[in-house]
C-alpha cells in the first residue's frame, strides 16, 4: 500500500462541515461570522508520550483527545483537525484500529479530519485542531482575579496512578488497573464543560503536566497568587482509588503527589468569582462533569499549598517538564 492509498483508505471521508477536506493542497474551512478560530497542536512521540505496545485504537483516541482538551480549556467548539503522521511501516490492522479510535472520538465531537501529512519514520503523531469561539469570549489563562474561587474538574491523579502501575512503580490489582487505565489511555476531553463555562469562568487551563504546575500558568499569566487546599484533590483521588480497590492503601503521600502533580489528566482547572458559584455547579451538572473547589486566588504572588487545617504542606509538587 502506497502513501496515497493509505491516506485514501484510512483517513479520507466525505466532508460534512468543511468546504473542502482531504485531497487538495489545502483544506477550506468556513468560520461562522462573529466567531474566532481557536487553533492548537499537540504531538505524541513513542517512548515519550506512549508505550510502543499501546492499543492503536487508544492511541488514536488520545492523539485527538489531548487536542480537544486544549479547545475545551478555551471554551471553543471543535470544528476540524489535521493529522501529521510518521509511521515506521504500513501495518494495516494497526492503521485500521488507530483510525477507528481517532475517528470515533472525532465523530462524537463532530470534529472533521480535513487534512494532514503522512511520512515514513519513527512513530510520531501530530494533530492540529481548529475550533470556534464567539469573539472575545475565549477562556484565557490571564483572566483570574483576586478573590476568585479555583476549581478542578473530575478526579486529577487517576491517570498517574495507572501510569505508575503500568511502569511497575505501584502495586495495583489487575481489576483496579483495568478501571484506571482508560483515564491514562483514553482521557475524556472536557469540551462540554469548557463550553458551559463561557461567561462563567474567569480563566481556565487544561491539566496536562500536573494540577499545581498548570494552575501556576494561570497565576503567572494573571499576575496573582493562590492558596490551594491539598486535601481536597487528594481526597477525591483517595475515594476513586478506594472504589477501584476496596482495600487500597496507596499511602497519603503517593495520592497527594498523583493528585497535585500527576499529569496527563486532561481535566480543567479554572477560576470563577464567588458570585458564580451556582453557575459553576450548573455548568458542571449540564456537562455531566464534577467541578470541585480547591482554593482561592490571592493578591500575593506564588502558590501556597495548605492542609485541611490551613497549615502549610511542606512538599514539592514539580510538574512535568520535557527539558527539566
321 assigned ligand-binding residue = no
Does 7 bind ligand ADP (CB under 6 A)? Our answer is yes
Could you say which of Mg ion, ligand ADP, none residue 22 binds, taking C-beta under 5 to 8 angstroms by partner kind? ligand ADP
Burial class (CB in 10 A: 0-12, 13-18, 19+), 300: exposed
- Closest distance of CB 11 from ligand ADP, Å: 3
Instruction: Provide the strand spans (E) within the chain.
Output: 35-45, 77-87, 112-120, 124-134, 149-153, 203-206, 225-229, 268-272, 291-298, 302-306
Total residues binding ligand ADP (CB under 6 A) = 13
Could you say which of Mg ion, ligand ADP, none residue 107 binds, taking C-beta under 5 to 8 angstroms by partner kind? none
Selected binder of ligand ADP within 116, 156, 210, 262 (CB under 6 A):
116
Residue with cell 469573539: 135
Interface mask toward ligand ADP for 74-103; x: CB under 6 A: ---------x-x------------------
Parallel, antiparallel or unpaired: strands 149-153 and 268-272:
antiparallel
Which residue, judged by CB position, is nearest to Mg ion in the bound state? 117
263, 320 Cβ separation under 8 angstroms: yes
Interface mask toward Mg ion for 105-144; x: CB under 5 A: ------------x---------------------------
In 10 A of CB 311, how many CB atoms? 8
30 assigned ligand-binding residue = no
Q: How many residues are listed for the chain in this entry? A: 324
**How far does CA 304 lie from the centroid of its chain?**
24
Stretch that binds ligand ADP, among 59-67, 110-118, 282-290, 303-311 (CB under 6 A): 110-118
- Closest distance of CB 280 from Mg ion, Å: 44
The H or E element spanning position 174 is helix 174-185
Q: Within positions 23 to 62, which residues make up the interface with ligand ADP, using CB under 6 A?
A: 23-25
Integer Rg of the chain from CA: 20
- Closest distance of CB 28 from ligand ADP, Å: 11
Does 159 bind ligand ADP (CB under 6 A)? Our answer is no
69 assigned ligand-binding residue = no
Does 22 bind ligand ADP (CB under 6 A)? Our answer is yes
Torsion sign across C-alpha atoms 206, 209, 214, 220: negative
Torsion-angle region of 62 (φ positive above 0: left; ψ -120 to 50: alpha; else: beta): alpha
Q: Which residues belong to the annotated binding site for Mg(2+)?
A: 25, 40-42, 70, 117, 206, 209
Interface contacts to ligand ADP, rule CB under 6 A: 7, 11, 22-25, 83, 85, 113, 115-118
Amino acid at each position: 500500500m502506497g502513501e496515497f492509498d493509505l491516506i485514501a483508505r484510512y483517513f479520507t471521508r466525505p466532508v460534512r462541515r468543511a468546504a473542502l477536506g482531504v485531497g487538495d493542497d489545502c483544506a477550506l474551512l468556513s468560520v461562522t461570522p462573529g466567531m474566532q478560530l481557536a487553533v492548537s497542536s499537540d504531538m505524541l512521540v513513542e517512548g515519550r508520550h506512549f508505550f510502543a505496545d499501546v492499543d492503536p485504537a487508544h492511541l488514536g483516541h488520545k492523539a485527538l483527545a489531548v487536542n480537544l482538551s486544549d479547545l475545551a480549556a478555551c471554551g471553543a467548539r471543535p470544528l476540524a483537525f489535521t493529522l501529521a503522521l510518521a509511521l515506521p511501516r504500513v501495518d494495516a490492522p494497526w492503521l485500521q484500529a488507530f483510525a477507528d479510535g481517532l475517528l470515533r472520538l472525532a465523530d462524537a465531537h463532530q470534529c472533521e479530519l480535513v487534512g494532514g501529512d503522512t511520512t515514513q519514520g519513527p512513530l510520531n503523531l501530530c494533530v492540529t485542531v481548529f475550533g470556534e469561539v464567539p469573539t472575545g469570549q475565549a477562556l484565557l489563562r490571564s483572566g483570574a482575579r483576586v478573590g476568585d474561587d479555583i476549581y478542578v474538574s473530575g478526579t486529577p491523579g487517576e491517570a498517574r496512578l495507572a501510569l505508575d502501575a503500568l511502569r511497575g512503580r505501584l502495586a495495583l490489582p489487575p481489576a483496579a488497573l483495568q478501571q484506571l487505565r482508560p483515564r491514562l489511555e483514553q482521557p475524556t476531553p472536557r469540551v462540554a464543560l469548557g463550553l458551559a463555562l463561557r461567561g462563567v469562568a474567569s480563566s481556565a487551563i487544561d491539566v496536562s503536566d500536573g494540577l499545581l504546575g498548570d494552575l501556576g500558568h494561570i497565576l503567572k499569566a494573571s499576575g496573582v497568587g493562590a492558596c490551594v487546599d491539598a486535601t481536597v484533590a487528594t481526597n477525591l483521588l483517595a475515594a476513586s482509588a478506594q472504589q477501584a480497590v476496596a482495600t487500597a492503601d496507596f499511602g497519603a503521600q503517593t495520592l497527594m503527589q498523583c493528585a497535585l502533580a500527576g499529569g496527563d489528566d486532561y481535566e480543567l482547572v479554572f477560576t470563577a468569582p464567588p458570585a458564580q458559584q451556582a453557575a459553576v455547579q450548573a455548568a458542571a451538572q449540564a456537562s455531566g462533569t464534577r467541578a470541585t473547589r480547591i482554593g482561592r486566588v490571592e493578591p500575593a504572588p506564588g502558590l501556597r499549598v495548605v492542609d485541611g487545617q490551613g497549615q502549610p504542606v511542606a512538599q514539592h509538587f514539580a510538574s512535568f517538564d520535557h527539558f527539566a
